[in-house]
Amino acid sequence: MDIKSNSLFAQMQSMSLEAMNHNTQAVSSDNAIPSVNNSGSDFGSLLKDAINTVNDLQQTAGAERKAFELGDSNVTLAQTMISASKASVAFDATVQVRNKFVEAYKEIMNMPV
Give a three-class secondary structure readout of 57-92.
Answer: HHHHHHHHHHHHHCCCCCCCHHHHHHHHHHHHHHHH
Within-domain flag for 100: yes
**What is this structure's pTM?**
0.59
Confidence of residue 70 (pLDDT cuts 50, 70, 90): very high
If you compute the radius of gyration of the chain from its CA atoms, what whole number of angstroms results?
20
Within-domain flag for 51: yes
CB of 8 within 8 A of CB of 49? yes
Within-domain flag for 108: yes
Confidence of residue 79 (pLDDT cuts 50, 70, 90): very high
Mean per-residue pLDDT, 77-105: 94
The tally of domains found in the chain comes to 1
Q: How many residues does the chain have?
A: 113
Burial of 15 (0-12, 13-18, 19+ CB in 10 A): middle
> The domain containing residue 110 runs over which residues?
40-113
Within-domain flag for 62: yes
3-state secondary structure of 112: coil
